[in-house]
């Protein structure tokens, strides 16, 4: 697609670092569109910085509202590496984005992602459903530059048949509604509309353009050109064409070549040109929204003849004088120049940033300073990737952190906050360090009061966080590599976690560790009642007895005390032998089995990479 000057999409599974590194080289294999879905697999600062477009996948056309599940037998070591998880351990994509429960939350994520890459455009993928036009209007107002309407007929072959046939709608219906609703609300020239869902020919593209689309997505047809025979066994790792599988034996059957896709796309363009010539159009932009040039076929019979398509074909808001395509002059202004990152951080740390020198500054923040540190973090990633030393840049903040404080910050950047913070603290943490503690002299008990909001460290991939106080609900949801110490959490802590370490020096809410398939949590269970609040479906708990575990736990608490001056942490360290029996180690069954198998392989003299591969195949046989 890069050779054709089109755009390829990573999907929700992240992208191999080698492909990202190939950007701007002769053989550019870096996907232009980086997808951010509910699982946040592989969503790091580097991943986002390499994008030309960042797409928020709200749902999938073939199975709207269902989330996803990648079975453990399909999580090969190289897939686990890309998704930042453990080989052989199943991965779950939650049905909702846990940082999106309203259109305002979606606006915040759009803002976060724009801060993470100021040069990328932000798109939102919606499903063709009744009422999608209203949602699309909200998306346009929230600042997205592209709205994608996805039809029910494309999508994954792993989707349940019941969903494919009963959940979504054809892209034609959602596209027409979206186009008309945006015109009605005076928003059509603020966004581009894209559509996908089994576009198979130039005729399909022509119809999509006439109904209001400016961009067009293909997936099923290019797969067919590479040998896909539509067996719909994508979830079973048994694809006979060697496409939807990582099985080396089945992969040998793959006969596709990039040239096949290039030829197909050229034929699509040629057929579209033929239709354009027949209709008298010189450009695709001229075609957009001209539904008056579509008519109902006359050779229909039975129920087909009774279908009323007038609402689609007759656009009541069409005006020949009105522009119904995207106008770059009308693009949403995020006013990023007003952020603390641009006004303070980039100005004061510009010299140190260019030279990679250590610097420390003090900044006053308020809860209107959203996504603080994200722009500065993206500039670090552009220059140094993750090669900077820890604490190269230390920013000491005083006040109230806004939403998404420290989102996506990379290694080398430390944010120390004296105060409290709103929701989405440390979202997508990518190697940076976050420290939060209340101001000196406060009289409330730190381990009894909330200092950071809900959904902290959502999708964190690496880095550290130390919180002297209690976190809200869904702490460390989908954490895949960060280490965190906190003095209490709300409901649903460590939900869907796949990696990393979490220490909780206090109470947890209900449903702790639901869907947790990787990583380890150490919880101080002083009242011996954690088992009543823990979701035991995928995890078990045990006392901390291993010498390695004891050392890891103690070291994390020591660092927590050193950085936050935690009274609770000090008390535990001063009486460690008394507190140790009260700690519970929560670990997922599958993760524990795979980690033990990997250790056994390493003891035989295999390298870490070889051990993972051998352990994976040994696990497949059992």
Give the residue extent of every domain in the chain: 2-295, 358-616
Residue 333 — pLDDT band, cuts 50, 70, 90? very high
Per-residue confidence (pLDDT) for residue 232, from 0 to 100: 84
DSSP E strand stretches across 505-559: 518-524, 539-543
Residues 545/567, Cβ–Cβ less than 8 Å: no
Report the C-alpha gap between 360 and 358 in whole angstroms. Answer: 7
Q: Quick count: other Cβ atoms within 10 Å of Cβ 181?
A: 20
Q: Which residues pair with 417 in a beta bridge?
A: 397, 436
- 517, with CB counted inside 10 A (0-12, 13-18, 19+), is buried
Burial letters 568-601, b for 16+ CB under 10 A, else e? bbeebeeeeeebbebbbbbbbebbbbbbebbeeb
Cα torsion angle, 325, 326, 327, 332, sign? positive
**527 by DSSP, 3-state: which?**
coil
Averaged pLDDT score across all residues of the chain:
94
Asked whether the beta carbons of 234 and 244 are under 8 A apart, the reply is yes
Q: What is the pLDDT of residues 538-567, one digit of tens each?
A: 999 999 999 999 999 999 999 999 999 999
- pLDDT above 70 for 234: yes
Residue 190 CA neighbour count, 13 Å, CB half: 18
Letter string b/e over residues 81-118, b meaning 16 or more CB atoms within 10 A of that residue's CB: bbbbbbbbbbbbbbeebbbbeeeebbbbbbbbbbbbbe
Contacts of 304 (CB under 8 A, 6+ apart): none
The mean per-residue pLDDT over the stretch 483-499 comes to 97
CA neighbor of 215 nearest in space, from 199, 239, 229: 199
Instruction: Give per-residue pLDDT as tens, 404-454.
Output: 999 999 999 999 999 999 999 999 999 999 999 999 888 888 888 999 999
Phi and psi for 415 in degrees, rounded to 5? -110, 120
Helix (H) or strand (E) holding 463: strand 462-467
Rounded to an integer, what distance in angstroms lies between the CA atom of residue 50 and that of residue 119?
10
Residue with tokens 């279908």: 307
**Residue 367 scores a pLDDT above 70:** yes
Q: What is the dihedral of CA 506, 521, 475, 531, to 10 degrees?
A: -60
* pLDDT digits 0-9 by tens, 39-49: 999 999 999 99
Given CA atoms 107, 109, 113, 116 in this order, what sign does their dihedral have?
A: positive
Residues 6+ apart with CB under 8 A from 453: 403, 421, 422, 423, 424, 425, 471, 472
Q: 317: phi > 0 → left, psi -120 to 50 → alpha, else beta; which? A: alpha
User: What is the band of 457 on the pLDDT scale with cuts at 50, 70, 90?
Assistant: very high
Say yes or no to pLDDT of 161 above 80. no
DSSP state of 498: E
Q: How confident is the model at residue 66 (pLDDT cuts 50, 70, 90)?
A: confident
Are 79 and 13 a contacting pair, CB within 8 Å?
A: yes
Burial class (CB in 10 A: 0-12, 13-18, 19+), 336: middle
**Could you tell me the pLDDT band of residue 69, with boundaries at 50, 70 and 90?**
confident
Q: Is the pLDDT of residue 322 over 90?
A: no
Question: For the residues 521-528, what does the mean pLDDT come to?
Answer: 97
Asked whether residue 155 carries a pLDDT value surpassing 70, the answer given is no
SS3 450: strand
Q: What does the alpha-carbon distance between residue 11 and residue 36 come to, in Å, rounded to a whole number? A: 8
CA atoms within 13 A on the CB side of 332: 23
Q: What average pLDDT does the segment 516-522 reach? A: 97
Contact (Cβ atoms closer than 8 angstroms) between residue 400 and residue 419:
yes
Q: Once rounded to an integer, what is the mean pLDDT over residues 129-140?
A: 95
pLDDT value at 156 more than 70: no
CATH architecture of the region 358-616 = 3 Solenoid (2.160)
Provide the 3-class DSSP secondary structure of residue 348. helix
Say which DSSP state 399 is in.
E
pLDDT at 165: 73
For the ranges 231-245, 471-485, 540-554, 591-605, the lowest mean pLDDT is seen at 231-245
The model's confidence at residue 157, banded by pLDDT at 50, 70 and 90, is low
Does 158 score more than 80 pLDDT? Answer: no
Over residues 565-574, the pLDDT tens digits come to 999 999 999 9
Q: 366: how many CB neighbours lie within 10 A of its CB? A: 12
User: What does the pLDDT average to over 79-97?
Assistant: 93
Mean pLDDT of 578-606: 96
Mean pLDDT of 564-586: 97
Helix (H) or strand (E) holding 102: none
Res 534: pLDDT: 97
State yes or no: pLDDT of 102 exceeds 70.
yes
SS3 470: strand
The architecture (CATH level 2) of 2-295 comes to Alpha-Beta Barrel (3.20)
| Sign of torsion over alpha carbons 140, 168, 68, 7 | negative
């Amino acid at each position: 697609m890069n050779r054709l000057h089109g755009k390829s999409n990573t999907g929700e599974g992240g992208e191999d670092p080698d492909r990202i590194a190939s950007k701007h080289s002769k053989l550019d294999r870096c996907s232009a569109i980086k997808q951010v879905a509910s699982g946040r697999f592989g969503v790091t600062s580097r991943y986002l910085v390499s994008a030309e477009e960042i797409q928020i996948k709200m749902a999938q056309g073939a199975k709207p509202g269902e989330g996803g599940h990648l079975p453990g037998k399909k999580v090969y070591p190289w897939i686990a590496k890309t998704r930042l998880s453990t080989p052989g351990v199943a991965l779950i994509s939650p049905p909702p984005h846990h940082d999106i429960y309203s259109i305002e939350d979606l606006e915040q994520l759009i803002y976060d992602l724009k801060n993470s890459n100021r040069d990328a455009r932000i798109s939102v993928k919606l499903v063709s459903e009744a009422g999608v036009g209203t949602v699309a209007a909200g998306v346009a107002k929230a600042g997205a530059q592209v709205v994608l309407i996805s039809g029910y007929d494309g999508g994954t072959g792993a989707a349940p048949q019941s969903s494919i046939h009963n959940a979504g709608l054809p892209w034609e219906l959602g596209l027409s509604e979206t186009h008309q609703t945006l015109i009605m609300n005076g928003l059509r020239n603020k966004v581009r509309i894209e559509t996908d869902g089994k576009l198979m020919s130039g005729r399909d593209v022509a119809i999509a353009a006439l109904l209001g689309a400016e961009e067009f997505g293909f997936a099923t047809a290019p797969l067919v050109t590479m040998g896909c025979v539509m067996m719909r066994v994508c979830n079973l790792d048994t694809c006979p064409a060697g496409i939807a599988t990582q099985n080396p034996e089945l992969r040998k059957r793959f006969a596709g070549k990039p040239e096949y896709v290039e030829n197909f796309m050229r034929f699509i363009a040629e057929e579209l040109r033929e239709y354009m010539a027949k209709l008298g159009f010189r450009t695709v932009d001229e075609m957009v929204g001209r539904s008056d040039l579509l008519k109902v076929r006359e050779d229909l019979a039975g129920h087909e003849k009774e279908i009323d398509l007038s609402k689609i074909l007759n656009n009541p808001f069409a005006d020949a004088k009105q522009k119904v395509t995207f106008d770059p002059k009308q693009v949403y202004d995020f006013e990023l120049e007003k952020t603390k990152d641009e006004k303070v951080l980039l100005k004061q740390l510009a010299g140190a940033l260019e030279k990679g020198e250590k610097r420390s500054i003090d900044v006053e923040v308020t809860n209107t300073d959203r996504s603080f540190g994200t722009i500065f973090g993206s500039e670090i990633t552009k220059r140094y990737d993750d090669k900077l030393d820890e604490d190269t840049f230390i920013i000491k903040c005083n006040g109230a952190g806004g939403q998404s404080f420290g989102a996506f910050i990379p290694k080398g950047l430390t944010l120390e906050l004296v105060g409290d913070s709103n929701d989405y603290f440390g979202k997508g943490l990518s190697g940076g360090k976050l420290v939060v503690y209340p101001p000196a002299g406060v009289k409330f008990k730190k381990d009894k009061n909330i200092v950071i909001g809900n959904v902290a460290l959502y999708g964190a991939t690496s880095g550290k966080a130390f919180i002297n106080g209690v976190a809200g609900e869904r702490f460390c949801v989908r954490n895949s590599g960060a280490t965190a110490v906190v003095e209490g959490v709300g409901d649903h802590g460590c939900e869907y976690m796949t990696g990393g370490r979490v220490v909780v020096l206090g109470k947890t809410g209900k449903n702790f560790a639901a869907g947790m398939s990787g990583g380890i949590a150490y919880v101080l269970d002083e009242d011996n009642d954690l088992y009543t609040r823990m979701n035991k479906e995928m995890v078990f708990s045990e006392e901390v007895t291993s010498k390695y575990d004891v050392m890891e736990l103690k070291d994390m608490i020591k660092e927590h005390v050193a950085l936050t001056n935690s009274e609770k942490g000090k008390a535990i360290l001063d009486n460690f032998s008394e507190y140790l029996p009260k700690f519970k180690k929560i670990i997922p069954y599958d993760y524990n089995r795979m980690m033990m198998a990997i250790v056994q392989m390493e003891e035989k003299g295999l390298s870490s990479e070889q051990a993972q591969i051998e352990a994976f195949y040994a696990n497949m046989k059992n």
